[in-house]
Amino acid sequence: MPRRMDLLIMTMSAFFALSVIGIRVASLWSEYGREIGRAESASRDLARVTEEYIGRVFETNDLIASEVVRYVRQQGGVEQVRNRLEPHRYLADLSRRTGGSQIFVVDSAGVPSILTTRFPAPDGDYTDRDWMKVHVAGADRHIGEALVGRISGEIVFSYSRSIRAADGLLDGVVHISMRPSFFEQVPDTSDFGSGVQLTVWNPEGRVIARTGMSVADIGLAYRDHPALQVMFDGDTGTFRAPSPFDDSDRIFSFRRHNQWPIIVSASVPVSSALVPFRDSVRQALWQVALVLTGLAALTAVALRLNRNERAAREALSRSNAALVRSGRDLQNRIEDRARELAEANDRRREDEERFRGVFNAMFQFIALLKPDGTVIEVNRAVLDFCGVDSAEIRNHHLWETPWWHRGDDGVERLRQAVATAITGKFVRYEAEVTGAGGRRVLIDFSLNAVTDARGRVILLVAEGRDISDLKVAQAKLHEAQKLEMLGQLTGGVAHDFNNLLMVILSNLDLLRKRLPDDERLCQFADSAVQAAERGTTLTQRLLAFARRQDLRPEVIDLADLVTGMKDLVERSVGVGIQTIFDLPKGLPSVRVDANQLELALLNLVLNAKDAMPEGGILTISLRHLPGDRDDESLPRAGHVALSVADSGRGMDERTAKACIEPFFTTKEPGKGSGLGLSMVHGLAEQSGGWLRILTNPGMGTRISIGLPAAGTVMAIKPLLGAAGAEPVRLPSCRILLVEDDVLVGMGAEAVLSDMGHTVTLAHDGPHALEILSRGSAFDLVITDYAMPGMTGTELIDEIRARNPDLPIVLASGYADLPDGEVPDGVARLCKPYRPHDLVTALSSLLMPTASVGQSVGASNVVRLLRDPRA
């Protein structure tokens, strides 16, 4: 019996001990799962926040790079902005507005042109950089992995975009270097402290930026790392694996960005996540040890009672004392636990305050909604925009708030968006909202659902981003692209139109010479010639608008040019208009095509005359506009402005913006082609200058042409004098004519034959070489430029290799030949050309002394001056 009682006491003691241990182990296991779950949730939140941040960073940098590309193109290309102060200040201003990112531009050879941190740009070669190689290979945009900046010496990551020339070739690269400061700040605000690692990867497994990155980590690839395969193969997820950076056991959450080729990961150390769990384990061990100690004591007392009543009473007394002590200890532990709960509540309040601080610091409009669309909370950006207190918005439906625009079915659309978001679908569209003072802005609006552990929607997050400025920038970019495409189209049309005019004028000249002495027939032929000549003028203006006219710039004194045109200007405006010339002495000279500038000035004068039908005052003035910094080699830096001002009707804002567009005119039908101002604008831009219009209805108009100042002054050559000389009659020549257009070739052959020359016609370059290989002797070769298979310059190279002394004339209806395309010693002939132009060109080659002062195509220019409205 005593043994049986001892066995029963020991069995009950063992059962009670195992129960206590089992309950505590189960409690610890549950707490372990909660801490791991909390760490996973925190890593997912950090990954989402990092994804949103890095997405905005690259969106912002893409806009900045687009603006720099536009600016560089507007300035004329990378070479035009190299080591210039104005572009440097422009980039520095952009850098300050974007948090101090370093922006610099390199040319197609990888040499720095301008950058924000130094001026002038230091010498360097970036062709070994991966981002430069990618753009040379043809990429338009590139996100670069982490590297050490050669200029700053810091670890940075980058975003770059190529700058393409008009012909599509690489002109340079815009490169934006960013410090990974965000990845150093966010971990300090996390519950897990500095142990949090935020990383941005590219799809090849290379690090773009991360927390705690060192120089030794740069260039390493982790695409084949076995622990990270799930991240590089998936779109989003959470997993546990050793860190590739320090081999610590971590909980990873990753998200693949849906717009940019990047993967964002956030990892939390398991050791940091289990700190509260380890504290609980230590407490549990102490508690279990105390309970087991008490149980052992009770067991011993029971055994002793079973053996000896006295010993049992004594043991019971000791057990009671032990129980009292255990109760006291238990009470102390309960008090400690209550204190820990109070501290936990304090930490929760701190977390809420931290969340509210981040929530109110967001520059976007953010609102938290109930599933039915009722507003729970809005951030400070919304309150400041609306100019209201949060109490006026809470507990109202979002579509009832004062900032939501109620017109155009906006309320019904928002109701439907809330109904869609409740189903778990992401909703996004553009909407208009109204702020304080009636200010309306366009926002990128989105609704996203937040679900609980069972997948139920418990919250809706409404976000709005102000995109008004972005829309304006997109509209301006679209307008610039439209004008660029129109310029390309007009240039091509002018090229083909020149060939057609060549055929018409050639045949009209031949027909005019063979007409009988009939005044009426001659009048018909002259009218047709005048119409074709006006078509020639139209092509010249189209080429001027497209900035593809053939300019022959020279250094001139603008005051001398305007003074030489005084009589022509006064005759052009007629009576009733007073002309004033404000031409100060000592102005810097400029580099420009004098002939084209005279045409532009005459166009502006005639436009001013038409704006003053009842008379008025016409003022032509010159002003020097110095640059920001004087250059010792160019003491008169800056621009010289040629202004034509009238006291006429003026223009409204809409007309002033559209007047430089081709074929836009306010004149009656038949009184203007609408290409005058577009030609002037094209000349200014092609000469490296600008055109500005200052006007108001009833206040008159001032149009200014700004031309870059040059270093020295040279006298201009009189434009009208070149056309007065009679061409020298040439002896009969044997001419090889190369022309791929059948009609143009037949017309030119007829004109040359009519002039007494022997002409052999070849339809392309290979055909011409075949004729020359037969041993035929020629005194002159006239070849077209644009031909299939072999261009005119390629044909000239072949002919020069066989007969270097054979005179050659290069004819083209397309004015802007590539640089260096016209070889030395080759005469240039612009289509459409006339017999007088042919004689001038041939004289310059066959009889140089007889053609001094002649200009190829001069008759066309003189004719335009005589009839500027053509």
What is the rounded average pLDDT for all residues in the chain? 78
DSSP string of 539-568?
Answer: HHHHHHHTT-S----EEE-HHHHHHHTHHH
Non-local CB neighbours of 396 within 8 Å, separated by 6+ positions: 374, 375
Please state which of the ranges 178-192, 214-228, 243-257, 667-681 shows the lowest mean pLDDT: 667-681
pLDDT tens, residue by residue, 313-340: 677 788 888 888 888 888 888 888 888 8
Beta-sheet strands, E only, within 713-848 = 734-738, 758-762, 780-784, 808-812, 827-830
Q: What is the pLDDT of residue 870?
A: 32
Segments in 623-762 forming alpha helices (H)? 653-658, 676-686, 742-754
pLDDT at 715 over 50: no
Amino acid at 476: K
CATH code of domain 727-852 = 3.40.50.2300
pLDDT average, residue stretch 781-804? 88
Alpha-carbon distance values, 703 to 362, 557, 620, 706 (Å): 47, 20, 10, 10
Q: What is the pLDDT of residue 628?
A: 52
Q: Confidence class of residue 174 from pLDDT cuts 50, 70 and 90?
A: very high
Cα(703)–Cα(680) distance, rounded to whole angstroms? 10
pLDDT average, residue stretch 237-249? 86
Q: What is the pLDDT of residue 859?
A: 33
Cα(588)–Cα(563) distance, rounded to whole angstroms? 16
Q: What is the pLDDT of residue 3?
A: 67
> Where is pLDDT greater, at 792 or 529?
792
Q: What is the pLDDT of residue 162?
A: 94
DSSP3 helix / strand / coil % (the chain, rounded to 5): 50, 20, 30
How many CA atoms lie within 13 Å of 687's alpha carbon, on the beta-carbon side? 33
Non-local CB neighbours of 782 within 8 Å, separated by 6+ positions: 735, 736, 737, 738, 748, 752, 808, 809, 811, 829
Please state which of the ranges 169-173, 208-212, 722-726 shows the lowest mean pLDDT: 722-726
pLDDT at 700 over 80: yes
pLDDT at 137 over 60: yes
Q: What is the pLDDT of residue 7?
A: 80
Q: What is the pLDDT of residue 865?
A: 29
pTM of the model: 0.36
CATH superfamily of 1-273: PAS domain (3.30.450.20)
Domains 1-273 and 363-466 share a fold: yes
**Burial of residue 428, with CB atoms counted within 10 A of its CB: 0-12 exposed, 13-18 middle, 19 or more buried:** exposed
Convert 315-353 to b/e letters by CB count within 10 Å (16 or more is b).
beeebeebeeebeeeeeeeeeeeeeeeeeeeeeeeeeee
Q: What is the pLDDT of residue 419?
A: 87
CATH topology of domain 554-720: Heat Shock Protein 90 (3.30.565)
DSSP annotation of 121 = P
Q: Which CATH number fits domain 363-466: 3.50.30.50, 3.30.450.20, 3.40.50.970, 3.10.129.10?
A: 3.30.450.20
pLDDT at 354 over 60: yes
Convert 578-606 to b/e letters by CB count within 10 Å (16 or more is b).
eeebebeeebbbbbbbbbbbbbbbbbbbb
φ, ψ for residue 662, nearest 5 deg: -65, 140
> Where is pLDDT greater, at 164 or 840?
164
* Domain ranges (residues) in the chain: 1-273, 275-359, 363-466, 554-720, 727-852
Q: What is the pLDDT of residue 838?
A: 75
**Of residues 599, 618, 729, the one with CA closest to residue 676:** 599
Q: Confidence class of residue 645 from pLDDT cuts 50, 70 and 90?
A: very high
Per the CB < 8 A criterion, the answer to whether 232 and 223 are in contact is: yes
Q: What is the pLDDT of residue 863?
A: 33
Give pairs for 837-840: CB < 8 Å, separation 24+.
Answer: 838/751, 838/752, 838/755, 839/727, 839/728, 839/729, 839/730, 839/755, 840/727
> Where is pLDDT greater, at 551 or 390?
390
pLDDT tens, residue by residue, 262-272: 999 988 888 87
Q: Confidence class of residue 852 from pLDDT cuts 50, 70 and 90?
A: very low
Count, residues in the chain: 870
**Of residues 108, 122, 179, 114, the one with CA closest to residue 149:** 179
pLDDT tens, residue by residue, 108-129: 888 999 988 888 888 888 888 8
pLDDT average, residue stretch 672-695? 75
